[in-house]
Amino acid sequence: MRKKQRAISPAIFSCFVALVVSHATCAEISPSVAVPPYHDKYSKLVNQLEAGQTNINYSEFRESFLESEQFKAASRQKPDLNTLRKEMHDLMQKSKSAEIIGVTKKMLSIDYTDMEAHKILHQTYKILGDMPNSKKYHDIEFGNKEGKRKNLPSGLACHPNQRGILPSADAWG
């Protein structure tokens, strides 16, 4: 009886280790966007979009960013955003999908209207075969069909500066 217990214990331990490792890997692939803590319209819309509810008025969303405390915070974090953007491009050249997702979500935590971050998330999730997340970030970038049927300004990409905000982050100086 004692020998059977020892034979089972390593098997159970191996399963436990595999579970922990796979959970850590999933956590790396699925970091979350930090929703701004300001409880304003912008923060509520970011939360809604991250939950996959992409049927919003994107013009109102862009305007809410300009009026939010997060806009001020993002302007102070421009150097961080530039560093993250460079890191994202470096990771793209190395095809490091999990790390790309982490960096782009950090970018969106600073400025959720960042078009390039949404585009790269859409493409990276598509490469990984995660179609629900690919669709979510595609819909945010270009707007979803429901919003277009209701003649709502759709998607962040509909803005002429293609960054989804006015003024562009480059104008924050």
Same domain (yes/no): 90, 43: yes
Q: Which of 171, 22, 49, 53 is nearest to 117 (CA)?
A: 49
Same domain (yes/no): 21, 86: no
Same domain (yes/no): 125, 43: yes
pTM: 0.70
Query: Tokens in use for 158?
Result: 């509909």
| Domain of 100, in residue numbers | 33-172
Asked if 78 contacts 172 with a C-beta cutoff of 8 angstroms, the reply is: yes
123-157: per-residue pLDDT in tens? Answer: 999 999 999 999 999 999 987 655 444 444 445 55
Same domain (yes/no): 11, 41: no
Chain centroid to Cα 30, Å, comes to 9
In angstroms, the CA 43 to CA 26 distance is 26
In angstroms, the CA 121 to CA 108 distance is 10
Same domain (yes/no): 20, 78: no
Which pLDDT band, with edges at 50, 70 and 90, does 3 fall under? low
In angstroms, the CA 113 to CA 46 distance is 9
Same domain (yes/no): 78, 11: no
**Coil, strand or helix at 81:** helix
In degrees and rounded to multiples of 5, residue 46 shows phi and psi of -60, -45
Same domain (yes/no): 50, 26: no
Same domain (yes/no): 82, 116: yes
DSSP H helices, the chain, are 2-29, 41-50, 58-66, 69-76, 78-93, 97-110, 115-128, 131-142, 145-149
Same domain (yes/no): 68, 92: yes
Same domain (yes/no): 26, 38: no
Asked if 21 contacts 114 with a C-beta cutoff of 8 angstroms, the reply is: no
Average pLDDT for 62-84: 96
11-63: per-residue pLDDT in tens? Answer: 544 444 444 333 334 444 468 999 999 999 999 999 999 999 999 999 999 99
Which pLDDT band, with edges at 50, 70 and 90, does 10 fall under? low
**Residue 8 confidence (pLDDT):** 52
Asked if 155 contacts 138 with a C-beta cutoff of 8 angstroms, the reply is: no
Cα of first residue to Cα of last residue in the chain, in angstroms, is: 73
80-118: per-residue pLDDT in tens? Answer: 999 999 999 999 999 999 999 999 999 999 999 999 999
